[in-house]
Amino acid sequence: MWSPFCLMFVLACQVLAIWPAPKSLSTGSSVLWIEPSVQITYNGGAVRWIPIRNDVLSSDTEQTLGEQVPYANGSQNGITSKAIVLQAVNRSLEVLFSQNLVPWKLVARGELSELEPAADSAQTCIKTITITQTGTDNSSSFKPLAGQVDESYNISIATDGTASITAVSYVGVLHALESFLQLFYQHSAGAGIYTNLAPIEISDAPKFQHRALNMDVSRNWYGVDDILKTIDAISWNKFNILHLHVSDAQSWPMEVPSIPELAQKGAYQAGLTYSPDDIKNIQTYAIARGVEVIIEFDMPGHTTSIGFSHPELIAAFNAMPWDTYCAEPPCGSLKLNSPAVYDFLEKLFADVLPRVSPYSSYFHTGGDEVNVNAYLLDDTVNSNDTAVIQPLIQKLVDRNHDQIRKAGLTPMVWEEMLLQWNITLGDDVVVQAWQSDEAVSAVTGKGHKVVGGNYNFWYLDCGKGQWLNFGNGASFQTYYPFNDYCSPTKSWRLVYSYDPLAGVPENETHLVLGAEVHIWSEQTDPVNLDSTIWPRASAAGEILWSGRQDASGQNRSQITAAPRLAEMRERMLNRGIQVGPVQMIFCTQSNATECAL
Ligand X SMILES: *[C@@H]1O[C@H](CO)[C@@H](O)[C@H](O)[C@H]1NC(C)=O
- Hey, which residues are catalytic here? 369
Closest to ligand X by CB, 176 vs 246, is 176
Q: Provide the minimum distance between the beta carbon of 444 and ligand X in the complex, in angstroms, as a whole number.
A: 7
Cβ atoms < 10 Å from Cβ of 285: 17
Q: Provide the minimum distance between the beta carbon of 326 and ligand X in the complex, in angstroms, as a whole number.
A: 12
Q: Provide the minimum distance between the beta carbon of 219 and ligand X in the complex, in angstroms, as a whole number.
A: 25
Closest to ligand X by CB, 169 vs 247, is 169
Buried b (16+ CB within 10 A) or exposed e, 495-527: bbbbbbbbebeeebeebbbbbbbbbbbbbbeee
Q: Provide the minimum distance between the beta carbon of 218 and ligand X in the complex, in angstroms, as a whole number.
A: 26
Cβ atoms < 10 Å from Cβ of 463: 15
Cβ atoms < 10 Å from Cβ of 281: 16
Closest to ligand X by CB, 219 vs 556, is 556
Q: Which residues contact 143 (CB under 8 A, 6 or more apart)?
A: 76, 287, 292, 358, 359, 360, 361
Query: Quick one: DSSP state of residue 77?
Result: G
Residue at shortest CB range from ligand X: 74
Closest to ligand X by CB, 308 vs 498, is 498
| Site of interaction with ligand X (CB under 6 A) | 9, 50, 52, 65, 70, 73-75, 78, 87, 90-91, 94, 134, 138-140, 148, 152-154, 166-168, 203, 372-373, 376, 384, 386, 390, 421-422, 447, 497, 499, 502, 505, 507-508, 548, 555, 591, 593-594
CB 413 within 8 A of CB 364: yes
Q: Provide the minimum distance between the beta carbon of 575 and ligand X in the complex, in angstroms, as a whole number.
A: 10
CB 128 within 8 A of CB 162: yes
Angle at alpha carbon of residue 376, lines to 374 and 379, rounded to 5° = 100
Cβ atoms < 10 Å from Cβ of 38: 18
Q: Tell me the torsion sign for CA atoms 217, 222, 225, 231.
A: negative
Sort strands 410-414 and 362-364 into parallel, antiparallel or unpaired.
parallel
CA nearest to 530, candidates 519, 540, 539, 522: 519
Q: Which residues contact 368 (CB under 8 A, 6 or more apart)?
A: 298, 301, 302, 414, 415, 416, 434
Closest to ligand X by CB, 245 vs 280, is 280
Percent helix, strand, coil in the chain, to 5, is: 35, 15, 45
Closest to ligand X by CB, 123 vs 156, is 156
Q: Provide the minimum distance between the beta carbon of 119 and ligand X in the complex, in angstroms, as a whole number.
A: 24
Q: Provide the minimum distance between the beta carbon of 229 and ligand X in the complex, in angstroms, as a whole number.
A: 13
Q: Provide the minimum distance between the beta carbon of 126 and ligand X in the complex, in angstroms, as a whole number.
A: 19
Closest to ligand X by CB, 263 vs 413, is 413
Closest to ligand X by CB, 6 vs 272, is 6
From residue 578, how far is each of 99, 230, 518, 571, 575 by CA, in Å? 14, 11, 18, 11, 9
CB 432 within 8 A of CB 451: yes
Q: Tell me the torsion sign for CA atoms 356, 357, 358, 361.
A: positive
